[in-house]
Chain A
């Protein structure tokens, strides 16, 4: 079942002579529950594509349809709510709020929704991530791997249909990297989520269902591994 459709997506930065076209017309369809790895050299436009899918930046041209709806029709307010409910982000540099502890950082998306946090589900996530004895620690008191697990927890909390991960292991050692990827795959399966992941790591890419290679702002290959 199709969850995401990208049509003629273009993005350029700067103006006139200084304009740099980062995405040069991308068309893509992604189905529900797929695990997709996006690979490509630095500066090829992978991250920009991911940002466009997640509603973080507006395209210069083209559409991003999620569940059949063009997300860039939304106003800023609606777009934020879309991010909060439909998408879970995981970043290379974890990006946790330094003033909140583990439990609070994970609960953030629900709190932003003025929702009561589903305690049982929160406990489940924390247990799943193996952070039970760390839940009242501040990010500064955690290792890199632990911090990344917190950010995964945050991405999972609102049960989003798409998880977007931008080099989630880029800042981790190999043992932690492996664990994080396992967790992501496991949760995607468990909660029936679509996982789109940018990576430089061939090993990680090889575990995906589908690998999309981007170069110079365009898709150069799109292969199904499974």
Chain B
């Protein structure tokens, strides 16, 4: 037995489990999205702060000239968290190979330096010392913390061991860190750590004024990251993303409530008829909101935290040990903000329908007339005969149905628009972000490089064919790609190949009159690919065909349609093609030897040997990594064509080796060493670790961004399902009436499915437009850091349109089943 009318809420939620679960899922996903974005952001920020502190120290302001007056001012400054002076003592010889020097620090100076304690603690008086572990090994092998150590007539107590640094090992410099009460001599440096707050930048500026501009340094990246928490140029894209997420959270939750209220209009009307006041109706709905919030918000938050740690551990598994992408940080700010946004949108979303529910006329309950006759039906003026021809009578009904009630039409379309917009914006943000990190290419699969030992840039030494064969025959080797030097040319392209965006950068194109025709002169680089590399290039094909014989016969080249061009005017990189090439276009090339040897004299174009090459294929990106030719037309060709173009012998000067299994690293290395030892002048470089770290960064960014896109798509789906199912359930009586006059279940099915899909189409059209506009805004934001030409997110639009239609189709299936089961007579009579 109920104690209060408010318990109706719980009854409703329980008896409409599916709807309740859908609403809760909407809340969970929204809160999880907001919180996980916040958590990831904070975690990446924390990782970056850690990284900066590791490499530069945790000081914010550094004074290189210190006097007593300055020290007093610093110590009395309320914005200063910690400070200390450190001073480097004289360099002394430790033995014939190694040198040693003392580093003294007062107060907290040592903690502000980048020195990292591996074991133990920092010294607390001048008798205590810490040093790097490699040096400790030289001083006293097997020394333990607390041992007394004698270095150059001075005795210390060892209290800690520092992380080894590369530079000290290379230099053979042993640093002894010790604490001093007062620094007397030498070069004194005052380190100041500020209190972390939003005014750090201003506070740092204040401190800078205390000394001559040349005697003060600022750890500006740390101040930026700790102070405002993000690099300034990220502000715009971040603001767009966060506002989209917040708006869509509110929209999704609002929709869910709107729906649960609309579904019960009759019940509320009835409660009103038996004497419930509008206030009481509002209370029922607000209680519903409270229950849903109490379930959804904590689970959403927990999911956010779970996602953070889940991804963190995944990253730890796939990432190399020393690479820290995120430091999982569950920041209270983010928790509070996500809970607030969640609650705010839940209550806002509940209040508006609650207000309307309170105003529902009790009359609605009394007659069963409510839903059909009360809604304002719009007579559609435009008749579209095409719909009827294509989809039949049911199609005509469907297209009339979706537009007949303006309010419902708007609500449904709005919810699809939100979903589609969200998806497109996130997807294109993802694509733009991945562009920065570069794409995976075959170079990421290379495990060993064989290069000339003399390390010269344009080495002319060849790798012997005999060696190549031996390497290829090794059982661990999958493939060995031949590596050639690039060849440089001046390139004349036709006017029609010119790109406006590149022209605007300036300095890339030059006008040229060649034999009476207006041409564009720019630079070109020719890369030589062996057969196996050409095979790989086929995976990157955008247009044309790749065929070795055709390349040889037609003097053909393959264009890589992606360049990164530095714009000197804007000081940003431009990402995109250097020219607008089509298959069949011709390029005139004249060798430019000055780029290999700056001492040579530049030959004017047309004064040297000009040859014609033909574009036979276009690639969307680099099949292999090519460095130093980003401002050139990137052309790939065969050994034969290169020979023809340069008039020189073209032979490989290195090999890139891909092994069959990374676990065979040691055996492969041993065998390769053996093979190249026969040649004498070759060197084997193990690139496994390096490749692993770059590929895993790309992978991690991908996982993260795809994760967000998945969550965003889920939110979109829940939203669409919610609206469309309600649309049908509310019209059960109408459908029953249609069936009673002879519409078959099949016809009804067709009509309803068409309705769902029509909503999908209309919603995705608007969504695509808004999504593209928002993508453009993000693009503008991102282009603060780098330039790239804006492309409409066609792929995202395609997926979104197909997805919206599919969800439109799928989400009407379940309610259709429900309708099928129902007795026509019952349904005609009752409408809830």
Chain A residues within CB distance 8 Å of chain B = 47, 51, 54, 56-57, 76-77, 80-85, 87, 89, 91, 93, 95, 97-100, 103-104, 107-109, 111-114, 117, 154, 158, 166, 171
Contact (A112, B275) CB under 8 Å given A56-B366, A104-B2, A107-B1: yes
* Chain B residues near A77 (CB-CB < 8 A): 277-279
Chain B residues within CB distance 8 Å of chain A = 1-5, 8, 11-12, 14-15, 266-267, 270-280, 361-363, 365-368, 829-830, 832
A76 in contact with B11 (CB, 8 Å)? no
* Chain B residues near A113 (CB-CB < 8 A): 275
Chain B, Cβ-Cβ closest to A155: B274
8 other A-B residue contacts (CB within 8 Å) besides A80-B272, A112-B280? A51-B363, A57-B361, A80-B278, A93-B367, A95-B365, A99-B8, A108-B5, A112-B275
* Chain A residues near B267 (CB-CB < 8 A): 97-98
Contact (A89, B273) CB under 8 Å given A76-B278, A166-B366: yes
B366 in contact with A51 (CB, 8 Å)? yes
Shortest CB distance A163–B (Å): 13
B270 in contact with A95 (CB, 8 Å)? yes
B274 in contact with A109 (CB, 8 Å)? yes
In Å, the complex CA distance between A28 and B456 comes to: 113
Contact (A93, B273) CB under 8 Å given A104-B1, A111-B4: no
B279 in contact with A112 (CB, 8 Å)? no
**Which one of B15, B276, B278, B365 contacts A91 once the chains associate, using CB atoms below 8 Å?**
B365
In Å, the complex CA distance between A109 and B5 comes to: 9
Chain A, Cβ-Cβ closest to B277: A80
* Chain A residues near B367 (CB-CB < 8 A): 47, 93
Shortest CB distance A125–B (Å): 14
**Which one of B270, B361, B368 contacts A97 once the chains associate, using CB atoms below 8 Å?**
B270
B2 in contact with A93 (CB, 8 Å)? no
Q: Which of B271, B276, B279, B361 has the most CB of A within 10 A?
A: B276
In Å, the complex CA distance between A117 and B277 comes to: 19
**Which one of B2, B8, B14, B275 contacts A84 once the chains associate, using CB atoms below 8 Å?**
B275
Contact (A95, B2) CB under 8 Å given A81-B275, A84-B276, A89-B273: no
Closest A-B pairs by Cβ, 10 of them: A84-B275, A99-B11, A111-B5, A80-B277, A83-B275, A99-B15, A56-B362, A95-B270, A77-B277, A112-B5
**Which one of B15, B275, B278, B361 contacts A98 once the chains associate, using CB atoms below 8 Å?**
B15
**Which one of B1, B271, B368 contacts A112 once the chains associate, using CB atoms below 8 Å?**
B271
* Chain A residues near B278 (CB-CB < 8 A): 76-77, 80
A84 in contact with B274 (CB, 8 Å)? yes
**Which one of A47, A100, A158 contacts B8 once the chains associate, using CB atoms below 8 Å?**
A100
B275 in contact with A85 (CB, 8 Å)? yes
Shortest CB distance A122–B (Å): 9
| 20 contacts across the A-B interface (CB closer than 8 A) | A51-B366, A56-B363, A76-B277, A80-B277, A83-B273, A83-B362, A84-B276, A85-B275, A87-B275, A93-B367, A93-B830, A107-B1, A108-B5, A109-B275, A112-B274, A112-B277, A112-B280, A114-B4, A158-B275, A166-B366
Contact (A89, B274) CB under 8 Å given A56-B366, A97-B8, A100-B8: yes
* Chain A residues near B832 (CB-CB < 8 A): 98
* Chain B residues near A82 (CB-CB < 8 A): 275
* Chain B residues near A166 (CB-CB < 8 A): 366
* Chain A residues near B15 (CB-CB < 8 A): 98-99
**Which one of A76, A83, A89, A93 contacts B829 once the chains associate, using CB atoms below 8 Å?**
A93
In Å, the complex CA distance between A54 and B274 comes to: 10
**Which one of B12, B270, B276, B366 contacts A80 once the chains associate, using CB atoms below 8 Å?**
B276
* Chain B residues near A100 (CB-CB < 8 A): 2, 8, 11
Shortest CB distance A156–B (Å): 12
* Chain A residues near B271 (CB-CB < 8 A): 97, 108, 112
Chain B, Cβ-Cβ closest to A122: B1
Shortest CB distance A159–B (Å): 13
In Å, the complex CA distance between A85 and B273 comes to: 12
Chain B, Cβ-Cβ closest to A108: B274
A95 in contact with B366 (CB, 8 Å)? yes
In Å, the complex CA distance between A97 and B5 comes to: 12
Q: Which of A85, A98, A114 has the most CB of B within 10 A?
A: A98
Chain A, Cβ-Cβ closest to B278: A76
Chain A, Cβ-Cβ closest to B362: A56
Contact (A103, B363) CB under 8 Å given A77-B279, A80-B276, A89-B274: no
* Chain B residues near A111 (CB-CB < 8 A): 2-5
* Chain A residues near B276 (CB-CB < 8 A): 80, 84, 112
